[in-house]
A and B are shown apart, each in its own frame.
Chain A
Amino acid sequence: MVNRMQDNKAPAKTLAKPPAEKKSKWTKDDTELSILALPTTIWYILFCYLPIFGIILAFKDYKITPGASFLTSLLNSDWVGFENFKYFFTLQDFPQILRNTILYNIVFIVLDIVLPVGLAILISNIYSKRKSKTYQTLMFMPHFMSWVVISYFVYAFLVTDKGLLNSMLRAFGGENVPWYSTPAAWPFIIIIMHVWKTIGYKMVVYLASITGIDSSLYEAAVLDGATKYQQAKYITIPSLRPIIIMMFILAIGGIFSSDFGLFYQVSRGAQQPLTPVVATLDVKVYQMLTSGTVSLGKTSAASLFQAVVGCIMILSANAVVRKVDRSSALI
């Protein structure tokens, strides 16, 4: 995206040939545009940049000075260097949380590309366009549901004594399974729910790109006797490559973050005994933040760790893509 911003700027700069005059003069136009941008700039400073400076907390042993403002309290607190990080990294469940976050994300990245692209190719082949539209609309629905509402759906399926799943198990002669206290089942439940919520919308996004592919490519392929499978392999998928790569970079950039609602709401609070299999970094930070017993400094350290590794991931994913295929790079 930024790439293009710069591309657009380049011609504008070359057009402004007499730079000595144009560059230095601040016109009325500039003032007016700056005023227009002011409200949003203030928003960015308050809600994006103040928090970035708020990360100082992670290096302090934050103590409230009675009667003083936050800033004074912060300045009066002692510097502790990396103590807060040390606390976080030596937490007993830290390796588990890191493992959960990364493994779930790797599974999601693979499934989020393979399934929607596959389904988009399949649905584009259905004869009836009306039927195809209906399927798309129905499959799009979960995208608009919040995780709170979805957690009620899941509850109706999984709750031990009344749930639909257990009723079905009983009908086939099985026994009730207490799903909400069976950790082994949860990796599957989490993955299924993620796919359920996102598949329709991702499929439609890929389908929009597929319908944009020049149909003469397929016509030529048919004349050469290409099968449907060959068309998908040599035309459709290569045409989708840029958008797949972009989705991939974004997903890699988010590999240390997770959809809080999925892990927290669907598991009804990520409590024991499910914690070991559903707790991710976001869930842990939330639990630290709301526990009331963990200091703000330690919680900030956890959050900052997540932000920093996330940033490193997105920049390096972009750098790799840039090496391989410059035009697909994001930045």
Chain B
Amino acid sequence: MSKKNKPVSGDTLSRLNRINPTTNFLFNLMFLILALACFLPIIFIFIISVTDNDIIRKEGYQIFVTARTFSGDAYKYLWGQRQTILHAMWVSIYVTVIGTVLGVMLTSLMGYVLSRTEHKLNNFLTILVFIPMVFGGGMTASYVINTQVLHMFDTMWILIIPLAVSSFNVTIARTFFRTTIPDGIIESAKIDGASQWTVFFKIILPISKPVLATIGLFLAFGYWNDWFQAKLYIQNDNLKSLQAMLDSMQQNLDYLTKNPTALLTTTSDLKKNMPQESVRMAIAFVVAVPIACVYPFFQKYFISGLTVGAVKG
């Protein structure tokens, strides 16, 4: 009786509101399976990459590595080919770094200007940024403009510039500047005679690191993972990033399997240069690992960025 009259604290309530232990166990089991299903393929790729090629040919891919099946040949081969691999990695890194810096610059500039609602061109710029969100010329029109008018076919720029800005990122930046930076700061700087240029670079950018980090990360992962631009616009092998290399390797392989006669005739070089099964998986692993190691540290920025962009008001 007396117990019932006691005020129930929030803590007790949340304890009362728990699911029962059996359900908790079942949920844990289910999420463990889901989590492993999401993560194990990368381990599986690694295991294939350290399996002996003869074993692969005879017995298929192995799930475990044993002393019998182990072979470091794939990585030895990669080390022998390090010039190609390192060059592709260099392209990936170069594109990612330059692209991210350029993208963050362009995005935050536009985001800042859009957040200044007293600007005379505010309406015009808002519409300029908004229209591409609902309507675009499509893949073909972009292709024609990029190749015929801007002459960017087979250049490094095609990998960088078209991906630098997105209206989504501009909106995130605009919302951040609008909601977290008090007008007073800008007004007082202007009274002290600062130009907008100074305000933006000396005041706004230093206090906007969270949003710059979020946008920078969106861009960096986008650039690192991009293969489509290279597929459409790049023929020169020197301009192929890791992802593009992985992609064209697969295309060559498909070509060989679809045209078995090619093995005998013209493209026997292709066949000779075609890396073996374990080597291809090793390259896929090398491409996937940097991201798999790095993303847990940046995950929270992604979530905050997504919710800033997604939640209205």
Spell out A's residues near B (CB within 8 Å). 1-5, 8-9, 12, 16, 26, 29-30, 32-37, 39-41, 43-44, 46-48, 50-55, 57, 70-71, 119, 122-123, 125-128, 131-132, 134-135, 137-142, 144-149, 151-153, 156-157, 161-164, 166-167, 196, 199-201, 204-205, 208-209, 215, 218-219, 222-223, 228, 231, 242-243, 246-247, 253, 260-261, 265, 268-269, 271, 282, 285-286, 288-290, 296, 299-300, 302-304, 306-308, 310-311, 314-315, 331
Interface status of B16 (Cβ within 8 A of chain A): yes
Tally of B interface residues using CB under 8 Å: 114
- Contact indicator A5/B126 (Cβ below 8 Å): yes
CB-CB under 8 A from A127, the residues of chain B are 18, 24
- A303→B145 CA distance, assembly (Å): 14
CB-CB under 8 A from B243, the residues of chain A are 146, 148-149
- Contact indicator A50/B197 (Cβ below 8 Å): no
Main secondary structure of the interface of A (DSSP, over half): helix
CB-CB under 8 A from A199, the residues of chain B are 34, 38
Known A-B contacts A30-B121, A148-B247; the reply to A269 vs B254 at CB < 8 A is yes
- Contact indicator A139/B225 (Cβ below 8 Å): no
Query: Besides A139-B38, A200-B38, A304-B138, 12 other CB < 8 A contacts?
Result: A1-B175, A43-B164, A70-B149, A134-B35, A146-B226, A157-B41, A204-B303, A205-B306, A205-B310, A302-B140, A308-B135, A311-B135
Q: Which 9 A-B pairs have the closest CB atoms?
A: A303-B138, A51-B137, A54-B141, A32-B196, A138-B35, A70-B148, A146-B225, A162-B60, A40-B110
Interface status of B112 (Cβ within 8 A of chain A): yes
CB-CB under 8 A from A149, the residues of chain B are 243, 246, 284, 287-288
CB-CB under 8 A from A29, the residues of chain B are 118-119, 190, 196
- A1→B179 CA distance, assembly (Å): 13
CB-CB under 8 A from B126, the residues of chain A are 2, 5
Interface status of B1 (Cβ within 8 A of chain A): no
B136: min CB distance to chain A, Å: 6
Per-residue CB proximity of B142-166 to A under 8 Å, as 1/0? Answer: 1111001110000000000110110
Interface CB pairs A-B, < 8 A, 30: A4-B175, A5-B174, A9-B117, A29-B196, A32-B195, A34-B119, A40-B107, A40-B165, A41-B128, A44-B165, A47-B161, A48-B131, A52-B137, A52-B141, A54-B141, A54-B145, A119-B34, A135-B31, A138-B38, A141-B295, A146-B225, A149-B284, A163-B61, A199-B38, A215-B10, A218-B17, A242-B311, A300-B138, A303-B141, A304-B137
Query: Which of B42-50, B65-73, B83-91, B260-268 makes up part of the contact surface?
Result: B42-50
From A142, A246, A253, A308, contact of B38 by CB (8 A): A142
CB-CB under 8 A from B149, the residues of chain A are 50, 70-71
- A80→B251 CA distance, assembly (Å): 36
- Contact indicator B141/A126 (Cβ below 8 Å): no
CB-CB under 8 A from A26, the residues of chain B are 120
A186: min CB distance to chain B, Å: 16
CB-CB under 8 A from B206, the residues of chain A are none
- Contact indicator A311/B134 (Cβ below 8 Å): yes
From B31, B128, B165, B232, contact of A123 by CB (8 A): B31
Interface status of B191 (Cβ within 8 A of chain A): no
CB-CB under 8 A from B8, the residues of chain A are 223
- Contact indicator B138/A306 (Cβ below 8 Å): yes
Per-residue CB proximity of B12-56 to A under 8 Å, as 1/0? Answer: 011011110001100110111011111101101100100000001
- A146→B96 CA distance, assembly (Å): 14
Known A-B contacts A43-B165, A55-B138, A141-B42; the reply to A30 vs B30 at CB < 8 A is no
Known A-B contacts A50-B149, A146-B227; the reply to A138 vs B139 at CB < 8 A is no
- Contact indicator B44/A41 (Cβ below 8 Å): no
CB-CB under 8 A from A138, the residues of chain B are 35-36, 38-39
Interface status of B109 (Cβ within 8 A of chain A): yes
Interface status of B101 (Cβ within 8 A of chain A): no
- A127→B107 CA distance, assembly (Å): 41
B131: min CB distance to chain A, Å: 7
- Contact indicator B250/A268 (Cβ below 8 Å): yes
From A70, A135, A204, contact of B35 by CB (8 A): A135
Closest to B30 in A: A122
- A140→B247 CA distance, assembly (Å): 23
From A161, A243, A296, contact of B144 by CB (8 A): A296
Interface status of B270 (Cβ within 8 A of chain A): no
- Contact indicator B162/A47 (Cβ below 8 Å): yes
From B106, B150, B246, contact of A148 by CB (8 A): B246
- A128→B56 CA distance, assembly (Å): 41
- A229→B273 CA distance, assembly (Å): 59
CB-CB under 8 A from A308, the residues of chain B are 135
CB-CB under 8 A from A303, the residues of chain B are 137-141
- A122→B32 CA distance, assembly (Å): 13
Interface status of B214 (Cβ within 8 A of chain A): no
Instruction: Name the residue in A152, A209, A314 with the highest tally of chain B Cβ atoms < 10 Å from its Cβ.
Output: A152
